[in-house]
Amino acid sequence: FLLYLRAFGRFCGSKPLLDSTLRSIIAQYDRRLHAQPNHPLSITRKLIESCFPGFQNHNELPGVVTVNQNFDSLGFAPDHPGRNRSDTYYINKDTLLRTHTSAHEVDVFRANTSDGYTIAADVYRRDAVDRTHYPIFHQMEGALTWDKSKFNSQDDFLHQLQTDLNNFNPPNVEVEDPNPPFQSSNPLQEKYHSAIEAELIGAHLKRNLEKMAVTIFTEADKALKASGQEAAPEDKDPLKLRWVEAFFPHTSPSWELEVWWRGDWLEVLGSGVIDQPLLIRAGVPTRVGWAFGLGLERLAMLLFGIPDIRLFWSKDSRFLNQFDEKKPIQRFQPFSKYPAAPRDVAFWLPKSGPVVAETPAASSSTPSPAGGKETEPTLSESPAFHENDLMEVVRGTAGDSVEDVTCIDNFTHPKTGRQSLCYRVTYRSLEKTLTNEEANALHEEIRKELVSRFGVELR
């Protein structure tokens, strides 16, 4: 299988994977951190599973999927930016490393073995290099559907939903939800749902996910207090939640849930009323329901206070021994911080094509449950050089010895029209102090690789 992956990675697609990147991904491919006992990602997964008793939990689904599973089956448009080779690891034209756990939605609905389910899995995306992004991360999603054919009438079904909602024991939290139930940008699926039906499904979704968010953030709060870390005044605000309009090809209407945490609104999850044609394609046309998806690293980082996403991959016992799934959550105690070695690389782009440099804002957040993609500006179609290409060169060359890559200068020469970019690469290993020579050698390799792969002119 690995040989297959490697051969196709090398020869197929317009942008073959770098051999070295592929090698590091293959090395991590079967680690399944979300299922390792006492691993912080596994503890976070279990905490979320505990919010949905009775749901079937899928944690073993393999990461190589078809383009159809990852995109087409969910109704992604043929030109959806998520499909770009600059964002997605293709193995060949029909096969890729899943970019989200939703790749399994249709299959799980088709199996039709439970009303509620969760899926946790490793997912793969080409992305920035910084403390919150890693080419492999973990997502979790969940869905609840009702089989309407099991009710005597539509009224019975609505009555059941309403009763569930009435019996719901809401957590003590302030929730902002300024959205009308439907918007033209995010419409009722009127061909399939009555307005009241979709509103009740949406309310059911919101109450359940609010409760989950309160569970998670109450744990985070407890862990912080137990650690004796003094909260800053703005952090003493009580927990607040807000619903924000969002867009996903596989739900409508769709919302993101944000949490007011330590002085900032933090996006926690994407969700919505499941696209009915998707359920029809899955062979369960009489089911209706809701779904959500979230990134596990982001939540684990704030639950445990883990400062760098690379730490999740650590095999260092000083990291692993700090987590115990039988104990209340405890804040991570950093055991060392080795010095940083920043190095800049500046270059002229070849004349040929436009460059796509992502804005700092777009690359500064934790892996979003990807809905984010749809609201970000669309990246140009097939640029000669995409910022993620540079990120791949850095990952493929210096791997986990790099903490951050940031564009610090981007200018176009007024006369020649040529574009120049300067990136700061911050080298810092989690395992040892990098000597000047080591940092220089890694940097030199990156410079050479940029010239040979993209024909840039170093400055």
Question: Which residues form the interface with ligand PHE (CB under 6 A)?
Answer: 100, 102, 141, 248, 251, 270-272, 291-293, 369-371
Q: Is the dihedral of CA 398, 402, 364, 59 positive or negative?
A: positive
DSSP conformational letter for 133: B
Name residue, tokens 């639950």: 303
- Give the integer Cα–Cα distance in Å for 384 and 386: 7
Cβ at position 294, least distance to ligand PHE in Å: 7
CA 376 to chain CA centroid, nearest Å: 15
Q: Specify whether the backbone of 281 is left (phi greater than 0), alpha (psi in -120 to 50) or beta.
A: alpha
Cβ at position 161, least distance to ligand PHE in Å: 19
Helices (H), 227-308: 276-281, 296-304
Cβ at position 88, least distance to ligand PHE in Å: 12
What tokens does 15 get?
A: 């942008």
- Give the integer Cα–Cα distance in Å for 342 and 443: 10
User: 377 φ, ψ to 5°?
Assistant: -60, 145
User: Can you spell out the DSSP letters for 22-37?
Assistant: HHHHHHHHT--GGGST
Q: Which of 272, 292, 289, 271 is nearest to 109 (CA)?
A: 289
- Give the integer Cα–Cα distance in Å for 366 and 77: 25
Cβ at position 252, least distance to ligand PHE in Å: 10
Cβ at position 207, least distance to ligand PHE in Å: 17
Cβ at position 131, least distance to ligand PHE in Å: 21
Q: Which of 276, 302, 272, 306 is nearest to 288 (CA)?
A: 276
Instruction: Indicate the residue among 144 and 456 with the shorter CB distance to ligand PHE.
Output: 144
What tokens does 253 get?
A: 């209407």
Instruction: Indicate the residue among 197 and 275 with the shorter CB distance to ligand PHE.
Output: 275
Instruction: Indicate the residue among 17 and 370 with the shorter CB distance to ligand PHE.
Output: 370
Instruction: Indicate the residue among 135 and 305 with the shorter CB distance to ligand PHE.
Output: 135
- Give the integer Cα–Cα distance in Å for 257 and 250: 17
Cβ at position 100, least distance to ligand PHE in Å: 3
Cβ at position 427, least distance to ligand PHE in Å: 31
Cβ at position 301, least distance to ligand PHE in Å: 18
Instruction: Indicate the residue among 117 and 319 with the shorter CB distance to ligand PHE.
Output: 117
Instruction: Indicate the residue among 271 and 419 with the shorter CB distance to ligand PHE.
Output: 271
Instruction: Indicate the residue among 186 and 251 with the shorter CB distance to ligand PHE.
Output: 251
Residue nearest ligand PHE, CB atom distance: 293
Q: Which of 375, 362, 377, 376 is nearest to 186 (CA)?
A: 375
Instruction: Indicate the residue among 100 and 428 with the shorter CB distance to ligand PHE.
Output: 100
What tokens does 12 get?
A: 């197929």
* DSSP β-ladder status, 116-124 and 56-58: parallel
Instruction: Indicate the residue among 9 and 293 with the shorter CB distance to ligand PHE.
Output: 293
What tokens does 436 get?
A: 């000047």
